[in-house]
């Protein structure tokens, strides 16, 4: 083929420029570590990278939310742990007070300590987080949830809002519990029914908190046990409609059972002494403790030692219920923390997978790039050399 002189130069410059362009691209890949400098170099991979980066960002956010949830639940749990400890101490004090040898001033001492603990409990139930939000106020984070009222009880001013955070695709977890659920709505008594001795009782009989033996047979109603003393003392159990449900000869500590429940009465009831059994109501933990303190202060129903023993008995039952309730809440928190852990581990695994897919799409294969660079350098050198040899040739040189 005939070659024009212009072609020799044009070809050489075109080839040099092409090799230099390739070389620059390889160099850029190596220098930045990115295989793709602009979307047009690999549009499909670009859209994949954007999608993976989006998923990655979402996972990172879930991880952050998990960490946040963990710290929030941790704060709640440690608050409840403190409640736990205080409740144990109060229960000990209540048991200590339930001793016939103590006089009123001994009980005042115990009451004073319980009052201290009540203040601590009030403080804990009004715990604020680092932003000053009350953590047990439901959604009303700027409203103090628990306040003593004039009647000697406590008011809940929060609501039942629960804050959720997103910790996975379609997976949300509660990071707070409203004070209404934690401290307020606690079923007292034995969880099913509560007992009481009539204030007018004159005997020394003390009714136990009782147990449920057959929940299916339990009929919620208010029942009255009436004692009739004679040569031998007998009892009758009647409901509100005055239907006789059970009767028999009284024996101290012997079981009195009807409608699937069992109670017993210890001591010597007087003629006409009455005891009532009613469905358990809800009471907040603070009021329960306040009631205990009131009893020790002699402000309960009756100040005889029997009346005080009876009230302490009931108070200990109420405390046990509250204690169990808090324990149950802590179990819930524990299981949420577990769920967080497993979700967080799953997110981390997924994140690793994403990273490796992303790296495949996005990162320079250094071995291959280095090889390319070498090939391109060799080609460029060869092009320089051959051009400088060829361009020297001309017949005019020989004329």
Partner 1 sequence: MAVNGILSNAVSGLLASRQAMNTVSHNVANVNTAGYTRQRVELSSRNALSSNNLSVGNGVFVSRIRRIYDTALQTQIQTSGAAQQRYDSLASLASGVDNLMAESSSGMGSSLQSFFAAASSVSNNPASGTDRQLLLDSAGSLLNRAQSVYSRLTEIERGTNSRLTTAVQSINQLASNLAGVNRAISRAAASVRGTPNDLYDQRDQLILDLSKKIDLSTVLHSDGSVNVYVGKGESLVIGDKTRSLRAGKDRYDGRRLDLQLGDGVGYHSISNSIKNGEVYGILQFRSEVLDPALNGLGRVVASLGLNFNAQHRLGQDLKGRPGGDFFAMGGPEVLPKNTNTSLATTAVPVVGYADAQALTTDNYLLNWQGATWQLMNRRTGQIVPMTGAGTTASPFLADGLSISVAGITAGVGDQYSFLIRPTAVVARDTRLALTDSAAIAAAAPLQAQTAAANLGDMTVGSVTNTTVTGLPLGSPAGDIVLTYSPNALGVGVPGFAVTGGPGGTLAYNPATESAGKTLTLGGTYSGISFQVSGIPKTGDTLTVADNIGGVSDNSNMLQLLALSGQSLLDGGTNTLQAAYGQMVATIGSVTRQANINRDAQQSLLDFSVQSRDSLSGVNLDEEAANLLKFQQSYQAASRVVAVSNSVFNELINAVGG
Contact set with partner 1 (CB under 8 A): 1-7, 10, 14, 36-44, 46-47, 50-51, 53-54, 57-58, 61, 64-65, 68, 131, 133, 137-143, 156, 159-166, 169, 172, 175-176, 180, 184-185, 187, 279, 281-282, 394-396, 399
Residue appearing with tokens 């949300």: 172
* Structure tokens given for 288: 């329960």
Within a 13 Å sphere around the CA of 250, how many CA atoms are in the beta-carbon half?
A: 29
| Minimum CB distance to partner 1, residue 314 (Å) | 19
Instruction: State residue 62 phi and psi, 5-degree precision.
Output: -60, -40
Distance between CA atoms of 226 and 177, rounded to whole angstroms? 43
DSSP 151: T
317 near 308, Cβ under 8 Å?
A: no
> How far is C-alpha 286 from the geometric centre of its chain's CA atoms?
22
Distance between CA atoms of 128 and 141, rounded to whole angstroms? 9
Output 137 or 316, the one with its CB closest to partner 1.
137
Output 143 or 301, the one with its CB closest to partner 1.
143
| Minimum CB distance to partner 1, residue 187 (Å) | 8
Q: Where are the alpha helices (DSSP H) in the chain?
A: 5-32, 43-97, 104-125, 179, 285-296, 305-362, 366-390
Output 268 or 361, the one with its CB closest to partner 1.
361
| Minimum CB distance to partner 1, residue 124 (Å) | 18
Output 48 or 298, the one with its CB closest to partner 1.
48
| Minimum CB distance to partner 1, residue 378 (Å) | 23
Output 177 or 273, the one with its CB closest to partner 1.
177
Residue from 218, 239, 219, 236 nearest 228 by CA: 236
Output 59 or 315, the one with its CB closest to partner 1.
59
| Minimum CB distance to partner 1, residue 114 (Å) | 24
Output 131 or 231, the one with its CB closest to partner 1.
131
Instruction: State residue 248 phi and psi, 5-degree precision.
Output: 175, -175
| Minimum CB distance to partner 1, residue 229 (Å) | 36
Output 96 or 143, the one with its CB closest to partner 1.
143
Output 62 or 275, the one with its CB closest to partner 1.
62
Q: Hey, which residues does 155 pair with through a beta bridge?
A: 147
* Structure tokens given for 207: 């009714």
Annotate 276-293 with three-state secondary structure. Answer: EEEECCEECHHHHHHHHH
Output 116 or 282, the one with its CB closest to partner 1.
282
Instruction: State residue 103 phi and psi, 5-degree precision.
Output: -100, 180
| Minimum CB distance to partner 1, residue 275 (Å) | 22
* Structure tokens given for 126: 């009004």
| Minimum CB distance to partner 1, residue 279 (Å) | 7
| Minimum CB distance to partner 1, residue 98 (Å) | 29
CB-based contacts of 8, cutoff 8 Å, min separation 6: 390, 391
C-beta neighbour count of 399 within 10 angstroms:
5
Helix or strand or coil: residue 222?
Answer: coil
Kindly compute the dihedral angle of the four CA atoms of residues 237, 288, 269, 256, in this order, to the nearest 10 degrees: 40
| Minimum CB distance to partner 1, residue 142 (Å) | 5
Q: What angle do CA 279, 280, 282 make, to 5 degrees?
A: 135
Cα R_g (the chain), whole angstroms:
41
| Minimum CB distance to partner 1, residue 131 (Å) | 5
Output 18 or 299, the one with its CB closest to partner 1.
18
255 near 264, Cβ under 8 Å?
A: yes
């Amino acid at each position: 083929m005939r070659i024009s002189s212009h072609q020799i130069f044009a070809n050489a410059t075109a080839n040099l420029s092409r090799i230099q362009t390739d070389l620059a691209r390889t160099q850029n890949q190596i220098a930045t570590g990115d295989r793709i400098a602009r979307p047009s170099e690999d549009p499909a991979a670009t859209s994949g990278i954007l999608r993976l980066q989006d998923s990655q960002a979402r996972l990172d956010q879930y991880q952050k939310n998990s960490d946040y949830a963990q710290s929030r639940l941790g704060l709640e749990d440690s608050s409840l742990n403190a409640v736990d400890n205080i409740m144990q101490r109060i229960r000990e004090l209540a048991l200590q007070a339930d001793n016939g040898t103590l006089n009123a001033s001994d009980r005042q001492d115990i009451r004073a300590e319980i009052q201290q603990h009540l203040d601590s409990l009030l403080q804990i139930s009004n715990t604020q987080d680092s932003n000053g939000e009350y953590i047990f106020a439901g959604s009303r984070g700027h409203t103090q949830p628990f306040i003593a009222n004039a009647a000697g009880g406590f008011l809940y001013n929060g609501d039942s809002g629960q804050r959720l955070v997103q910790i996975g695709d379609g997976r949300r977890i509660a990071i707070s519990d409203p004070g209404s659920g934690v401290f307020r709505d606690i079923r007292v008594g034995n969880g099913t029914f509560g007992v009481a001795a009539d204030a007018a009782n004159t005997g020394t009989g003390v009714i136990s908190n009782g147990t449920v033996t057959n929940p299916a047979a339990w009929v919620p109603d208010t029942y009255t046990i009436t004692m009739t003393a004679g040569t031998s003392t007998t009892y009758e159990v009647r409901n509100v409609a005055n239907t006789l449900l059970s009767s028999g000869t009284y024996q101290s500590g012997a079981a009195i059972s009807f409608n699937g429940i069992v109670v017993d009465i210890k001591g010597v009831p007087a003629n006409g002494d009455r005891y009532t059994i009613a469905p358990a109501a809800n009471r907040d933990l603070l009021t329960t403790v306040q009631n205990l303190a009131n009893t020790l202060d002699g402000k309960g129903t009756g100040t005889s030692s029997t009346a005080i023993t009876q009230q302490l008995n009931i108070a200990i039952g109420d405390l046990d219920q509250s204690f169990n309730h808090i324990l149950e809440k802590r179990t819930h928190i524990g299981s949420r923390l577990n769920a967080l852990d497993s979700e967080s581990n799953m997110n981390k695994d997924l994140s690793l997978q994403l990273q490796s897919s992303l790296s495949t799409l996005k990162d320079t294969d250094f071995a291959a790039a280095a090889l390319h660079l070498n090939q391109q350098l060799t080609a460029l050198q060869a092009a320089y050399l051959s051009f400088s040899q060829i361009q020297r040739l001309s017949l005019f040189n020989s004329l």
